Amino acid sequence: MHQQTSETFDRNAREALADVQLRGALRNLATTFGGRRKEAIATVEDWEGLRDRARAAKDETLAHLDKYLEQFVGNAEKAGAQIHWARDGAEACRIVLDLIRARGASRLVKSKSMATEEIHLNAALEAEGLAPVETDLGEWIIQLAHETPSHIVVPAIHKSKRQIAELFAEKVGIEPTDDVAVLTGAARRILRRSFAEAEVGISGVNFGVAETGTILILENEGNARLTTSLPRTHIAVMGIEKVIPKFTDLDVFLKLLPRSGTGQRLTAYQSLITGTKRRPEDEGPEELHLVLMDNGRSRMLSHPVTRQSLACIRCGACLNACPVYQQVGGHAYGSVYPGPIGAVITPQLSGLKQSAQLPYASSLCGACREVCPVKIDIPELLLHLRAEVTEGTAAGTAAQHGPVKSRPLERLAFGLYARAWSSPTLYLWGARVARLLQGAVVRKGRIGKVGGLLAKLAPPLAAWTEWRDAPPLAPRTFREQWREEQKR
Amino acid sequence: MFDAIRGHLAASAPHDAVRAAHHAAAAHGEDVSARDEKSAAVVFEGTAVERFRQALEAVAGRCFVVKDEAEAAEVLRQIAGQRKSQRVAVSDSPLAGRVLKLAGLPAEVLENAAVGELFDSDLGVTGAQWGVGETGTLVLESDAERHRLASLIPSAHVALLEARNVRHTLGEVLRAINERGEGGLSRAITFITGPSRTSDIELTLAIGVHGPAELYVVVIGGEGNG
């Protein structure tokens, strides 16, 4: 298999479509999580109202992000947390590395965090001779396999039980088994050793409460609780968009996130951590370091369409609902964040230049918008980014990542299309010409597989008709029929 | 970094104005806040304790509703007996201490257990400051007791909860904590809903990954307050 990047999406997708095992896993994901989500949202009375309230809270925060960040940081510091600001991923990695080095620590445990995936923290630490241990079962599996997550909630969804059993047999020496409980038990036993001796725990953050300086971490396994309770030092990496205004806003988000993500009313554990322990004899780390990371986020604030990307609470519902993700899985996107939300935030975080294909990895069906708990209009964002690609401008990203290769033919085609469709004369004339021309390809009232010269001239038509017929234009237009009716 | 944030927000102002005008013209602005109370409305007919029991058992937790501490001690004795517990770690909750004493378990009881001892314990006993009916959730606050490790490391966790502290909704509990003000917010608050679980392998549910595989909640105080 070739190196999968966002630039090779087309090829990645074709390879994924041929992977029978992956397709089965994705079908399981869509039906299981899709079904559970439906049941779970039926247990709240006013789901739509909750979505509106959550979005309103996020919009309020983002419109005054400077103010809420200041408040959050002030309250966290008052409770004993130490704050570090990171403009980009490299800076965030260096801050974490320096903190570890300054403590002479080498035994590191990590709980699941998309922010640390985004900045490739593990690779940065490993390059310096450190060996952070992922402790979430899914993350541990892909760490053992030297792979990347293919889903933001269930990172090892692409792997079968059998592959995992073989992996465990090879890497940690357990007897191969198809009993999930045995595999899980092995992970518990082995990772407990890592927890018992860990000096530094690294976590992400789901929400930061401005009013109190509290961070909240959700999970099901208990590894995040162990990571944030046992080691002497806790380092939490959070995007600056994770802030919400009030402590009681948590109620709304805790109703939305688990239901949307895994279809649970609530995940098994939430840890609400406010600074460091109050008395020396209390449990918990001596130090809490919060690494607040921008890494392309503040740029998204500069337009209301792009700003809504920052409302995302990383539930994964749009992945599970997306007909594209359901077929190709996460790795095809070649980015840390896959699926519809990945297709819109990847180009904004890492530049459209490397990921110009991603905004096109969608049929614009709107299923993502339908399930999004914070009502992000992902199709609107996809169109916004497509416009940037064809314009070749990518206003914000150009300065950071160089100009995007524009698509002049696409511009020309849609320019002509727009002209023709906005003038009745041109429209009628165009239809007449098209009816004349289609005589060459219509067979038995359908346009079947197009080949030869025409396929070269009109690649989209050839691509469309390779697997299905295209309906021809009607022999007479409605206007023509109407005119004749009137004459009678 | 604040400069970047403020700069980009300022750049957005003209676009925001256009949007706002557009929305005002569309005038479909339903009052979102008016729906607040409706979505918090309680649909459940029974008491908060009964709701808690049903929700907890739906996520594979076990719930016992008892009259008093003596009955709670009896339940604890049965659980420890069935599990043949040898080493029991207990938090510094006065309630947990009293019930453990009444139970008189034939096991080693560790108060303030060191981390190594906790890994060798097979039962953890704590109190809980709140219960949430709608989800079957326990809320434990670090200012009330040292709960973090005893409720997490042993393979089974028994939590003792007073019926009068069970509320219908999480919103009620969050508001109650918030109303105490700054000094009343514990540095570590833990929400627990059922035993530790994962679906990371083929989405197959497995109970007891890193946290306890068994969760028992003993609600003390009879029928509760509804």
Instruction: Answer yes or no: do A114 and A153 share one domain.
Output: yes
Identify the residue whose tokens are 């109050």: A278
Same structural domain, A259 and A195: yes
| Judgement on whether residues A316 and A279 belong to the same structural domain of the protein | no
From the list B148, B188, B201, the residue facing A180 with the nearest CB is B201
Q: Is A234 helix (H, G, I), strand (E, B) or coil?
A: strand
Are both A107 and A246 inside the same structural domain?
yes
> pLDDT tens digit string along A45-86?
899 999 999 999 999 999 999 999 999 999 999 999 999 999
HSE toward the beta carbon, residue B100, CA cutoff 13 A? 24
Domain match, A284 and A413 both:
no
DSSP β-ladder status, B214-220 and B156-162 = parallel
| Lookup: tokens for B177 | 């904590």
The reply to whether A221 touches chain B by the CB within 8 Å rule is: yes
Last-in-domain residue among A260, A295, A330: A295
The alpha-carbon gap from B81 to the nearest alpha carbon of chain A, in Å, equals 23
Quote the percentage of chain A above a pLDDT of 90.
Answer: 76
Are residues A148 and A52 part of one domain? yes
Is A73 in the same domain as A20? no
Give the least confident one: A235-244, A361-370, B17-26: B17-26
pLDDT digits 0-9 by tens, B49-70:
999 999 999 999 999 999 999 9
Percent of chain A scored above 70 by pLDDT? 97
**pLDDT mean across residues, chain B:** 90
What pLDDT is attached to residue A137?
97
| End residue of a domain, out of A295, A330, A347 | A295
CATH class of the domain at B47-220: alpha beta
| CB-based contact, A133 to chain B, within 8 Å | no
Any B CB within 8 A of A69 CB: yes
Considering only residues 455 to 474 of chain A, which have any Cβ-Cβ distance to chain B shorter than 8 Å?
Answer: none
* Listed residues A376, A405, A422: the one ending a domain: A422
Domain region containing A448:
426-487
Same domain, A283 and A326: no
B103 versus A479: which is more confidently predicted? B103
Is A21 in the same domain as A55? Answer: no
pLDDT of residue A365: 96
The pLDDT tens digits for A243-258 are 999 999 999 999 999 9
Q: Residues A210-231, buried b or exposed e (16+ Cβ, 10 A)? A: bbbbbbbbbbbbbbbbbbbbbb
Residue of B nearest to A157 (CA): B202
Q: How far apart are CA A296 and CA A301, in angstroms?
A: 10
The number of distinct structural domains making up chain A is 3
Nearest Cα neighbor of A339 from A312, A320, A364, A354 is A320
Give the gap in angstroms from C-alpha A299 to the nearest C-alpha of chain B.
Answer: 6
Mean pLDDT of A401-416: 74
Q: Is A220 in the B-facing interface, judged by CB distances under 8 Å? A: yes
Residue B158's φ and ψ, nearest 5 degrees, are -110, 120
Q: Which residues of B touch A283 (CB under 8 A)?
A: 142, 146, 148-149, 188
Same domain, A339 and A370: yes
| Nearest beta carbon to residue A184 from set B170, B178, B198 | B198
Question: What is the pTM assigned to this prediction?
Answer: 0.90
Per-residue pLDDT at A287 exceeds 70: yes
Instruction: Mark whether A374 and A472 lie in a shared domain.
Output: no
Name the closest residue on chain B to residue A251, using Cα atoms: B171
Same domain flag for A104 and A211: yes
B172 vs A contacts (CB less than 8 Å): none
The residues of chain B scoring below 70 in pLDDT are 26-43, 222-226
The mean-pLDDT minimum among A114-128, A389-403, A451-465 falls in A389-403
Nearest CA-CA distance, residue A347 and chain B, Å: 18
Write the pLDDT tens digit of every residue in A290-344: 999 999 999 999 999 999 999 999 999 999 999 999 999 999 999 999 999 999 9
Residue A325, domain CATH: 1.10.1060
Sheet of strand B62-66: strand arrangement: B62-66, B214-220, B156-162, B123-128, B87-90, B108-111
